[in-house]
Amino acid sequence: MFFDLHRHLEGTLRVATTRALAVRDGHRLAAVDDLDDLLVARGPLGGLVPFLAKVDAAPAAFSRLEDWQRAGRECVEDAAAEGLDYLEIRFAPWFIRQETGLAPEGVIDAVADGVRAASAETGVRTALIGILLRDLGPECGLDQVDTLLSRRDLFCAVDLAGNEGGVPAADFAPAFARARDAGLHVTVHAGEGAGPESVWAAVRHLGAERIGHGVRAAEDPALLEHLAARGITLEVALTSNLHTSVAPSYAAHPVRRLLAAGVPVALCTDDPRASATTLPAEFEAAREAGLTDADLAAVRVNAREAAFG
Ligand code: HPA
Ligand code: ZN
């Protein structure tokens, strides 16, 4: 059973599709010599921000709503080819608006259409997570969440992503309170581009039930105890952590210590195109990180139990 709880639509957009759409439109990306190099990390990039630049370079080519329907469809088709049983797909409608000028509500509907159709065809179960982007600033947090709530039934949860070193999570507390009041689950990117204090903020101020990455929680024993006691699952993406230089190698990744502390861990891909990975490849990488067969079996159970959909 393969369950991926953390995969960004923007980080799944295929290089070939990005190129085809850019050529169709005469978009500037069509003139890039090595599109692969622009959109895919091949090694450590030294930080979260340069990695996000690779994830975020593709959406500008998806200039029509029908392109976002295709994006949703191809994302699920790729998941089926990997052998996934269940996939939570997250995306940031306001970021897509910024890159394309498209109405975020239309983008949500188009993505949901494509995902629904491909899910029915392939049998991969899917759920959608709406992302609020830190980088757009806290003053539009409520507006971002209202866009998601205009399509409330399409989403299982809300997330906070983007540059963790920028706007603090606490500034988004009103937006997350509104999302929780509407019955959405909460996951938050934290403990990736910043330290344990960022994970504490996600739990205390935003009501996070799961944490995207969270790996720097390993630096704070009291936080590990808190996460274990509350059953707060960490969505760990090993290859992404190498590319963002959060961990220097699989072998030196703290995932084993997280599990040993009793913290539920689910293995995830984050951005399969930008990291050139798949969920089965992440399970292989986990062996290099020192996880045993028993650990991997526990990780699969954790993912099933922490699924929002
Ligand atoms: N962190 C924050 N935002 C993101 C990431 C990430 O790893 N991937 C895509 N958007
Ligand atoms: Zn992520």
Q: Which residue has the tokens 């089926």?
A: 80
Q: How many other β-carbons are positioned within 10 Å of the β-carbon of residue 95?
A: 22
Q: Report which ligand 1 atom has the smallest distance to the Cα of 10.
A: 9
- Put residue 131 in one of left, alpha, beta given phi > 0 → left and psi -120 to 50 → alpha: beta
Catalytic residue among 192, 209, 235, 282: 192
pTM (2 d.p.):
0.98
- Return phi, psi of residue 289, to 5°: -80, 0
Q: What's the confidence (pLDDT) of residue 2? A: 98
Domains of the chain: 3-306 (3.20.20.140)
For ligand 1, whether the C-beta of 11 sits within 6 Å is yes
Question: What whole-number distance in Å separates Cα of residue 128 and Cα of residue 112?
Answer: 8
Question: Bridge-partner residues for 130, per DSSP?
Answer: 91, 158
pLDDT recorded at residue 193: 97
User: Which of 51, 90, 245 has the most ligand 1 atoms within 8 A of CB, as the residue to mutate?
Assistant: 51
**Are residues 234 and 213 in contact, defined by beta-carbon separation less than 8 angstroms?**
yes
Angle formed at CA 137 by CA 205 and CA 170, multiple of 5 degrees: 10
Q: How far is the CA of 120 from the centre of ligand 1 (A)?
A: 28
Which residue ranges in the chain fall short of pLDDT 50? none
Residue 83, pLDDT score: 98
Whether 240 lines ligand 1, by a CB cut-off of 6 Å, is yes
> Nearest 5 degrees, angle CA 132-CA 134-CA 138?
90
* Residue showing tokens 């996070």: 208
Exposed e or buried b for every residue in 19-42, given b needs 16+ CB within 10 A?
bebbeebebebbebeebeeebbbe
For residue 193, count CB atoms less than 10 angstroms from its CB and return exposed for 0-12, middle for 13-18, buried for 19 or more. Answer: buried
pLDDT (0 to 100) of residue 26: 98
Active site residue 192: yes
How high is the pLDDT of residue 67?
Answer: 99
Distance CA 103, CA 114 (A): 17
In terms of phi and psi (left: phi > 0; alpha: psi -120 to 50; beta: otherwise), the region of 218 is alpha
* Residue range 161-185, pLDDT digits in tens: 999 999 999 999 999 999 999 999 9
The label of the residue with tokens 């920028």 reads 166
> What residues flank ion ligand 2 with Cβ within 5 A?
212, 270
Three-class secondary structure of residue 148 per DSSP: helix
- Res 75: pLDDT: 99
If one residue of 5, 9, 45, 48 were mutated to test the ligand 1 pocket, choosing by the most ligand atoms within 8 A of its CB, it would be 48
- Residue whose tokens read 């990291």: 275
Spell out a b/e string for 98-119, using b for 16 or more CB atoms within 10 Å of the CB, else e.
bbbebebeebbbbbbbbbbebb
**pLDDT tens across 200-254, in order?**
999 999 999 999 999 999 999 999 999 999 999 999 999 999 999 999 999 999 9
Closest CA to 95 of 130, 66, 133: 133
Provide the sign of the torsion angle of the four alpha carbons 267, 271, 275, 276, taken in this order. Answer: positive
Ligand nearest the Cα atom of residue 48 = 1
Give the residue whose CA is nearest to atom 7 of ligand 1.
Answer: 270
Q: How far apart are CA 111 and CA 140, in angstroms?
A: 22
Amino acid residing at 271: D
